[in-house]
Amino acid sequence: MSNDPKNPYRATNRPVNVSRPSGSGDGDATGGLIPYKNPKALIAYYLGIGSLLIFPLGFVSIVLGFMGLADRKRNPVIKGSAHAWIGIVLGGLSLLCGLGLTIMIIGGIMSNV
């Protein structure tokens, strides 16, 4: 069993590294769902969601989304294009809704004057 006469309980083969699941290319617990290597795309995603409540965040979300797509184009290994696009779309929608709301408020104020 063992090649070491001093320790009969020692395994002869080296143990397999079990800290990393097989088939996981990223080696993280999220399975590659969160693009931690592309922080611009990830921040654009979160700001895009936040911009639904605070519409000026939409502009930042759009800018960071395009920067995240540019990073992805430069380095195809990093992920995050879906997060970047969601940030761009949600940021654009929030800007359009915020602009429409602002125009309606100004129009309502002007009609009462």
Domain boundaries, the chain: 39-112
CB neighbourhood size of 104 (10 A): 10
* pTM of the entire predicted model: 0.68
Helix (H) or strand (E) run with residue 43 in it: helix 39-50
pLDDT digits (tens, 9 = 90+) for 62-80: 999 999 999 999 998 888 8
Q: Is it the case that residue 2 has pLDDT exceeding 90?
A: no
pLDDT bucket at 34, cuts 50 / 70 / 90: confident
